[in-house]
Amino acid sequence: MSAAAKTLTAVAVLALAGVAAFSFDAARNPGTVGMATAVAAPDDGTPINACALLSDEEVSAAVGAKVTPAERRDDGEVGGQGKYAPAGTYSSTCFWQFHADASGKDDPTLPMGGKRFAILNAMVWPTKEDAASFLQSFRDAFKEEIIPNDPIALTGIGDEALWWGDGTAVRKGNKSYGMSVFLQNGDKASQRKMEEGLARKIEGRIN
């Protein structure tokens, strides 16, 4: 299986655990990008709004390049759609693409057609124990050989956090979030630095 195929498989399996389902949908269907609804205000009535947790400017500063305006795509209530998501679980996703890549050609062998992007998925769970399953899903995925990297514990972020090879995953109370940056060049060290930096900003905005 190619590296790109493994990445798509991992994202697909982990989607309902909090790693953006939108990223997998966009990777399969690049033409869907740009069809998202407008970014909602923080007080829009939903349990959590991923796009209210980071500004476009913060993402641009972290990745060192201009990004397109945030696109919000909530899956909404996802309870019962996976073994890690009980009834009452709400999922919100926010997506940014590197502006320089917005009009470039697609490479069908790579996630998002080879275009660089950042993606944040935030979830509200019925209980903090349910939220803990978010991080456990990554450990299970490694044991089941779905993802190649053994998750590394991170300190000073939320109640519990880890880096799983293609993003950070954080739990705080009954909320969790996953932050991923795809540079499409295999530079995991740079991606991890960006992901951890953004995750630390988000952590202070999760109640």
pLDDT of residue 135 exceeding 80:
yes
Going by C-alpha positions, the residue among 184, 160, 174, 166 that lies closest to residue 19 is: 166
- In angstroms, what CA-CA distances link 175 with 22, 134, 190? 19, 9, 26
User: Residue 50 and residue 19: Cα distance in Å, rounded?
Assistant: 12
pLDDT of residue 5 exceeding 70:
no
Helix axes 3-14, 21-28, angle to 10 degrees: 140
Q: pLDDT value at position 143? A: 93
Q: pLDDT value at position 43? A: 52
Give the pLDDT confidence of 41-56 residue by residue, as tens digits.
445 678 999 999 999 9
Cα 144 to its chain centre, rounded Å, is 21
Total-model pTM? 0.80
Beta bridge partners of 118: 96, 181
Question: How confident is the prediction for the chain on average, in pLDDT?
Answer: 80
Cα 199 to its chain centre, rounded Å, is 10
Which segments of the chain are extended strands (E)? 71-72, 76-77, 90-97, 117-124, 152-154, 160-163, 168-172, 175-182
